[in-house]
Chain A
Amino acid sequence: SQKIEQNSEALNIQEGKTATLTCNYTNYSPAYLQWYRQDPGRGPVFLLLIRENEKEKRKERLKVTFDTTLKQSLFHITASQPADSATYLCALGESGGSYIPTFGRGTSLIVHP
């Protein structure tokens, strides 16, 4: 069966450190992978998209890697701040399919001052 797995345990880090979140998938052939941020009671906010033929994407303090051999994406936030505390969702869109993003459950990040 198809799975998108993100760590269910919250990630606690100190301000200024780099946060690394993981998204693993099974039985998908993604055309792209997206990372979203979700604050409590709010809708997901798009952060970054990386396509199947890309290895790495950066945007300001954010970096995403995509390894289609390992079937894994890593999401990094450098110089983390308490304001980065939120749940981070990964979503896949399949190649040859509808491109509609399918979400993982998300990982909660807590950045301590």
Chain B
Amino acid sequence: EPEVTQTPSHQVTQMGQEVILRCVPISNHLYFYWYRQILGQKVEFLVSFYNNEISEKSEIFDDQFSVERPDGSNFTLKIRSTKLEDSAMYFCASSEVRTGGARTEAFFGQGTRLTVV
């Protein structure tokens, strides 16, 4: 069964460093998302990406964050100058687009646990 894959599963980084989280969405999906979940809190939307550009973003997704689809399969989230409060699980998700433009349900990857020390 197709699935969204994320690497690495766990990343530890020093405060102030840059990290890149990687995702391979399901191959025929056209919408891609990043969410995060701080320990014990709810899953929060960060950004969606469609047709090689950001389509929506939340207030959390500030200039510290960027996304890229560097090739036909990968979708990355870059966090510059990481802070302690960036420690969280980061989930990538993807969805199809039906005829007429409606998106289908989102399929989530297993997440990358980011720990900033």
Query: Interface of A with B (CB < 8 Å)?
Result: 34, 36, 38, 41-46, 49, 89, 91, 93, 98-106
Contacts and interface: CB of A to CB of B under 8 A. Distances in A.
Contacts of A91: 43
Task: Describe B's contact surface by its main secondary structure.
Answer: strand
Contact of B91 (A44, A100, A102, A105): A44
B106 interface: yes
A44 B108 CA distance: 6
Contacts, number: 50
Task: Please give me the 7 A-B residue pairs with the lowest Cβ-Cβ distance, nearest first.
Answer: A43-B108, A103-B43, A105-B42, A98-B56, A46-B105, A43-B111, A43-B91
Given A43-B111, A45-B108, 11 more contacts: A34-B105, A41-B111, A41-B113, A43-B108, A46-B107, A49-B105, A93-B103, A98-B56, A99-B102, A100-B45, A100-B56
B41 A105 contact: yes
A104 B111 contact: no
B82 interface: no
Chain B interface bracket (under 10, 10 to 19, 20 to 34, 35 or more): 20 to 34
A90 to B, nearest CB: 11
Given A98-B55, A102-B45, A43 B110 contact: yes
Nearest to B111: A43
Given A42-B111, A44-B91, A101 B106 contact: yes
A49 B4 CA distance: 19
A42 B111 CA distance: 6
A107 B43 CA distance: 13
